[in-house]
Structure 1
Amino acid sequence: MRLSRCFLPVMKESPSDAQIVSHKLMLRAGLVRQTAAGIYAWLPIGWRVLQKIGQIVREEQDRAGAIEMLMPTLQSADLWRQSGRYDAYGPEMLRIKDRHDRDMLYGPTNEEMITDLFRGDVKSYRDLPRTLYHIQWKFRDEVRPRFGVMRGREFLMKDAYSFDIDEAGARNSYYTQLLAYLRTFQRLGIRAVPMKAASGPIGGDLSHEFIVLAPTGESEVFYDAAFEEFDWAQEALSYDDADGLKALFEKVSTTYSATDETHDEARWAEVSPDRRREGRGIEVGHIFYFGDKYSASMGLKVSGPDGSMVTPQMGSYGIGVSRLVGAIIEASHDENGIVWPETVAPWKVGLVTMRGDDEASVQAAEDIYKKLTAAGIEVLYDDRDERGGVKLGSMDLIGLPWQLVIGPRGLAQGVVELKCRRTGEKVELSIDSALERLTA
């Protein structure tokens, strides 16, 4: 992508109403623009990041055996009345009447709808277990939307729902999602610690939220240092290994971690003082096992192996895809701007010509741009008629993993400069060596 042709409106200064780092940098780097309180338009660079996060989430859900679908954003209030949540959910739910005076709502979550869809077509235990998911926009009418996409009203979320014939199966589905989440967050380049959590309006008595550590987090967190040494990917563990999944869950559950909501001072005192870690964190995912809370209230039954009718056990599993953009920035930035993990960066390489009026520099940049693009490398080429310092400042702000800088002096010596955004390390290489490193 040529920056001169991209809609990427960077800002020199942070807006006065932006309070936290991620909100400031998302506005300055041109990821989003607010269109109403707590509602944002995602500009091209922000949309690219959202798509990359969503794709990683999707791949790990598929790998865990979940099946993708898509449900609508608007739901009938009658479904929520069947579960008993329509009046209980609170003012965060945006309630709407259509032209026929029917009560509708903009979905904050989809337990009722997925249960209704499932009961319409699933009649036998032979159709279980199943886990269905989608990535869809949600709306919760926050009383005080703030912190940009971290506490907005409209947000993009992956929500999955499991159906099992009994509690043992439902718990295995829960453990499966626990592992899928650990693998997802590792691929996103962040460490999200699973912590025992309150279930809130979703319901149930088994719940974990995944917390990214960041000074600006809304929750105070407490955890054992063992989580810093944990093998998050657990690559040797198969999703078909029920005993291994249970052992993983038990390890997570017995190693102390909690938010301020569920913090237990007595258990905390049992953790060795040198292993206690405290800080603040941002919730980026939440998983729940709630048994038959929705299946029973909505009359979902299937025939069991002996012919008797059985109420399936359920769980739900959410990841805040749009919130993750802000959380990643909170956890990965410096005084100059964003520092994207390579897996979610909008482009891998920022290509800069220090002198746009130098024909040799421009020609070299054009040639490099074509070769990198042909090799499948995503490149943002700053071909604007701007000073070199302005271009480098923009690249630091946007935070691409690599910067390839071309200037007349270097070219005269047969070298270009390759900078790693995360470490700040700069090396001078021949053009061929730079290309080889970036395409390796």
Structure 2
Amino acid sequence: MIYCGIDWAEKTHDDALVDDTGTLLAKRHITDDAAGYKILLDLLAEHGDTAEHPIPVTIETSRGLLVAVLRQGQRQVFAINPLASSRYRDRHSVSRKKSDPGDALVLANILRTDMHAHRTLPNDSDLARAIAVLARAQQDATWNRQQISNQLRSLLREYYPAALDAFAARTNGLCRPEARELLKLAPTGAARLTRPQITAALKRAGRKRGIAADTERLRDALHADWVHQPPLAEDALGKQMLALLCQLEAACTAADDLAQAVEEAFPQHPDAEVILSFPGLGLQLGARVLAEIGDDHTRFADARGLKAYAGSSPITRASGKKSSITRRRVKNDRLNHAGYLWAFAALTASPGAKAHYRRRRDERGDWHASALRNLFNRLVGQLYHCIQVHEPFDEALAFPAPAEVPTVTATAA
């Protein structure tokens, strides 16, 4: 067996090939372009890399063009966490020396000694990879939109609290189109909006119903009395607010466009029907779940592996007479975040899920987050089974009703 290790960087990469005895057979320093990739593939071919028996490769990333080139065909590609590879480095030297060629050699030796302990990159389909790109981008855009909205809210509190009061009662508040339209017209309290101006802004934002009532409500809120900053400072803060508003507009547009792209791509996947059958999972949240678990059904040996990957199952630390059971901290953060939202939404969509949550809260004394994590742990195990057998969610099987204890009535002698 020949093993290849690649120390990845932004512009150049270091490659090392070793045999079963750990002997260094070859090493190269290549560039991150088509010419460098060809040099690497030729180097692998010189040492016996074929379509039937490709040389396994280990690298410290799972993304990028280099990984896409290596994953062509049947080659096994192992993505090693940089923290794990740094621990392996200490096995070869106690002086803590480090170099890029040396790191490539360490990565190659990881496969030589502990290949069985590491997992290859999942063999997901092209559609699943495309959904993963869109779902993660939409999630990032949603987080970015919320971050900018929080910054805008903090700024308005400093000089324009009436604007916050006007949109506080609405869901998504400052992210709503009518809020952005009105803030453009009145960046400071000095701009007094009339009823026709407010009505026109609501119509430009796409409102169809309740315009007259909202016009009166918004006019009263924006014309309310509050403490003002000095005129020059208020004008400067208004300009800063408009700059933030431009960023918020771009973030809202990006989130909406990516959400539409996810809604178009996700239903095309064969597993979408099974995922959407689960209570609490819609198009956006279901796409995030598929993006993280993939569609390689051999990726996880059993449901326990998927639960550990999602961070829903607890972890036991035992030493001697001491033991503790805590939640997992090393996990897929995106899947764990989606699982929290999934379990929370399932409380209103599934009577069995709500009953399970209440038992954890009332009988076990769990906190809210702990009870939701336990519910997510159960749901993700059910999802693993349903995807493997390609069957939809069944409420009666997932949360069977507790067996009734027969009551014995006393009879008169």
More helix as a share of residues: 2
TM-score interval, normalised by the smaller of the two chains: under 0.3
Tell me the TM-score normalised to structure 2 length.
0.24
Tell me the TM-score normalised to structure 1 length.
0.23
The structure with more radius of gyration? 2
